[in-house]
Amino acid sequence: MKKIVVLGAGYAGLKTVVELQKKLKGQVEITLVDQNDYHYEATDLHEVASGNLPASKITFPISDVLNPQMTTLLLDRVTKVDPANRQVALANHAPLTYDYCVFALGFVSETFGIKGAKANSLPMTNVDEAVAIHDHIVAQMKDYRQSQDPNDLKIIICGAGFTGIELAGAVADARPRYAQLAGVTPDQVTIDIIDASKRLLPMFNDQLAAYGVNLLKKLNVQITTEALIQEIQPATVLYKGANDEEGTPLHKVTGNTIIWTTGVSGSPVVAESGLPQRRGRVMDSDHLTAPDDDQLYMAGDVSAVIPPAGKRPYPTTAQIALSMANYIAKDIAARVKGTSRPGAYTYKSLGTVASVGNTRAFGEASGHSFKGYPASVLKKIIMNKSLMELGGFKELFAKGRFDLYH
């Protein structure tokens, strides 16, 4: 019986397992490795970080979707994959051998070597980190009642990409609650976004990108662009303006909450495994396998697929991760059954929608643009679709986003 090892229970890894259980019932042994016994909706981390949702709302037990007769969940940390010997090294268990391995270990925060970024800012790449951000904000607000330090009321988000924009919107929604904790008016709680780019939200057309930026401005979020962050000190972000002359002193923004959302890279295990990679991502073959290794599939945040007419890989999103998982399950099933493998992997985006708080969003889907409240409804429908694909009706009804009117 073929042995399949799946590394990571995020969108790509868990969806692959769910599909393999349907397609190869009783024909393979699957081992799923993850450090947690729960799956979390990574697209909702900003809601937990802001405190608008509890962590329990964006998680569900992995065991809920596993067939114990086919799949074993192993709670451990992957340290290395040895493609030559088809083995996976683990921190606390004996190595696993495999016939096929699906490498889907997700992403980590990328500091780009900026001094102090790791020590003096808060990343947001998993549930624990999102909870820590919320706990930190609450602590600062409560502290203000005693300290009267204005920096307690200042929240700085480094990075105005998709994640930073959504986080800023969620934090803006939570501002009245923070203000009540601090004993101040909501306008005294400030939110700053700092980013190196001149034009934000490049995944959207000019009109939609401008709409999204203006949404934040209407929420009294201060946006600083063309700001090249040089260092993060305790409670201080130092940056250089793109047009500053040589010798110009660094600009300074202060605040006791600094959140780091400037970018991510694929799991460091990719490099530890000696795979050809750039920032933790491997350029996939037509069958989503690693170069020169047809038994090792690379999925989700550790993989890179170039669009037919493009030069840069598709962005790593939940949508493409689920698409990859569906393809990988079909490919592995065909190989196990000895039937013809599917053709080369192709991806067609169904659209992208960004939220700016609970009832405001913008984006495009099926060739149409959506703004405001209708876009926020669409965003929640997309999230529910993802949850349905992974967890079925049980998780959809338990964890789905049906809060459409507040």
Question: Which of the pair, 306 or 145, is modelled with greater confidence?
Answer: 145
Banded model confidence at residue 404, pLDDT cuts 50, 70, 90: low
CB atoms within 10 A of CB 286: 12
Asked if residue 397 has pLDDT above 80, the reply is yes
Residue 232 CA, distance from chain mean position: 23
Tell me if 62 sits within 8 A of 15, measured CB to CB. no
Mean pLDDT of 334-362: 93
Tell me the average pLDDT across 315-341: 95
What are the E-state strand segments in 242-349? 251-254, 257-260, 264-266, 282-283, 289-290, 293-298, 303-304
pLDDT > 90 fraction of the chain, expressed in percent and rounded = 81
Least confident of 62-66, 115-119, 373-377: 373-377
Distance between CA atoms of residues 67 and 129, nearest Å: 30
pLDDT at 345 over 60: yes
In the sheet with 221-224, reading across from the earlier edge strand, the strands are: 122-123, 257-260, 154-158, 190-194, 221-224
Q: What is the DSSP letter of 2?
A: E
Average pLDDT over residues 120-129: 97
> Cβ–Cβ contacts within 10 Å for residue 169, how many?
28
Contacts of 205 (CB under 8 A, 6+ apart): 364, 369
Mean per-residue pLDDT, 65-86: 97
pLDDT score of 405 more than 70? no
Over residues 76-96, the mean pLDDT reads: 97
Give the pLDDT mean for 45-58: 96
Asked whether the beta carbons of 187 and 147 are under 8 A apart, the reply is no
Mean pLDDT computed over every residue of the chain: 94
Which residues have a Cβ under 8 Å from the Cβ of 6 and sit 6 or more positions away? 13, 16, 17, 30, 31, 32, 33, 101, 102, 104
Residue-wise pLDDT tens digits, 16-30? 999 999 999 989 999
Residue 198's CB is within 10 A of a number of other CB atoms, namely 8
User: What is the identity of the amino acid at 258?
Assistant: I
Domains of the chain plus CATH, in order, are 2-108+265-348 (3.50.50.100), 117-262 (3.50.50.100), 350-406 (no CATH)
Highest mean pLDDT among 133-147, 236-250, 337-351: 133-147
pLDDT score of 154: 98
Instruction: State pLDDT tens for residues 190-199.
Output: 999 999 999 9
What average pLDDT does the segment 226-244 reach? 96
Q: How confident is the model at residue 200, as a pLDDT?
A: 93
Q: How remote is the C-alpha of 366 from its chain's centroid?
A: 23
What is the structure's pLDDT at 365? Answer: 86
Identify the pLDDT of residue 288: 97
| Residues with catalytic roles | 166
pLDDT over 90 (residue 189): yes
Name the percent of the chain lying above pLDDT 70: 99
In one letter, which amino acid is 122? L
**Band of residue 392 on the pLDDT scale cut at 50, 70, 90:** confident
263/303: higher pLDDT: 303
Q: Tell me what the mean pLDDT of segment 334-357 comes to.
A: 93
Burial class (CB in 10 A: 0-12, 13-18, 19+), 324: buried
The confidence band for 406, taking pLDDT boundaries of 50, 70 and 90, is: very low
Mean pLDDT of 191-218: 94
